[in-house]
């Protein structure tokens, strides 16, 4: 077989890593951002609150799910144990939240696509209370968010300043790999997929809330490691 021949030749098969499609302009922005921020002391990132929105579906597969089959079983056998069902257009819930080295922030349950009006409400009712929950002050903390239109509109920018929120400036476009909350979303979605069963939106709300809370309860080391991974992430941009 092909797999046997590859093994004989010492060729290993690896899953391709996904990364954003970047234009030359974006690459320059990423490099400039990395060079500006690479020399921050590690405790600088302890003050950062990493934020973002993400959709969570009512029907999501567990990433890299495997099936085990007995010797002699046809690998092409199709049954409940060897397949994962899919749905073309599952319902989903869009959430906003953040995390810092101190823990996970409040969840904001978004009402459809986030616009400037809703983002200002997010800052007021979720971000500011989350900072207080972390035992930080607005003066001593810094928000990291991407440059989605709702985040950087004139109305949002004005409101952010009025609330006294500090923001990491000049975030480069199309750079989700630089925001460690993406790793946390992956953990959350895997745990939700493992514990969500009924398929109803109400249960999904409950499971999301429970699993998000568990991350802070059980994985404080992971939060610290993610927050303090920023120098390495920036160095990778520079080395690339």
Whether the CB-CB separation of 121 and 78 falls below 8 Å is answered with: no
pLDDT tens-digit series, residues 174-188: 899 999 999 999 999
Q: Of 32, 54, 63, which is closest to residue 171 (Cα–Cα)? A: 32
Whether the CB-CB separation of 237 and 178 falls below 8 Å is answered with: yes
The single residue listed with the structure tokens 């490691």 is: 225
pLDDT over threshold 70, residue 67: no
Query: How is residue 53 annotated by DSSP?
Result: E
- Residue 92 — pLDDT band, cuts 50, 70, 90? confident
Q: What is the pLDDT of residue 84?
A: 53
Q: Extract the runs of DSSP E, i.e. beta strands, from 2-141.
A: 48-57, 92-100, 103-104, 108-109
Tell me what the pLDDT averaged over the chain comes to.
87
Q: What is the pLDDT of residue 1?
A: 67
More confident position, 209 or 72: 209
The single residue listed with the structure tokens 């599952």 is: 90
Helices marked H in the chain — which ranges? 2-8, 24-37, 42-45, 116-122, 128-133, 149-152, 154-163, 181-195, 201-218, 220-227, 230-239
Task: Read off the tokens for 91.
Answer: 């319902």
| Euclidean distance between CA atoms 217 and 204, whole angstroms | 20
- Residue 190 — pLDDT band, cuts 50, 70, 90? very high
Mean pLDDT computed over 157-184: 95
Reported pTM = 0.81
pLDDT over threshold 90, residue 60: no
pLDDT over threshold 80, residue 20: no
| Euclidean distance between CA atoms 119 and 54, whole angstroms | 14
């Amino acid at each position: 077989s092909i797999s046997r021949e590859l093994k004989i030749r010492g060729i290993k098969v690896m899953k391709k890593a996904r990364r954003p499609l970047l234009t030359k302009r974006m690459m320059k922005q990423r490099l400039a951002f990395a060079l500006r921020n690479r020399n921050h002391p590690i405790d600088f990132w302890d003050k950062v609150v990493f934020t973002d929105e993400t959709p969570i579906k009512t029907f999501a597969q567990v990433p890299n799910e495997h099936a085990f089959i007995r010797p002699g079983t046809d690998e092409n056998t199709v049954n409940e144990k060897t397949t994962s069902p899919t749905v073309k257009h599952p319902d989903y819930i869009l959430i906003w939240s953040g995390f810092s080295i101190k823990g996970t922030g409040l969840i904001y349950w978004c009402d459809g696509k986030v616009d400037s009006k809703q983002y200002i409400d997010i800052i007021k009712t979720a971000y500011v209370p989350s900072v207080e929950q972390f035992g930080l002050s607005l003066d001593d903390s810094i928000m990291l968010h991407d440059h989605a239109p709702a985040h950087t509109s004139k109305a949002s920018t004005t409101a952010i300043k009025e609330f006294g929120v500090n923001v990491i400036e000049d975030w480069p476009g199309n750079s989700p790999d630089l925001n460690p909350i993406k790793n946390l979303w992956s953990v959350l979605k895997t745990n939700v997929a493992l514990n969500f069963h009924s398929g109803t939106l109400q249960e999904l709300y409950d499971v999301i809330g429970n699993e998000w809370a568990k991350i802070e309860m059980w994985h404080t080391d992971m939060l610290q490691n993610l927050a303090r991974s920023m120098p390495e992430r920036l160095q990778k941009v520079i080395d690339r």
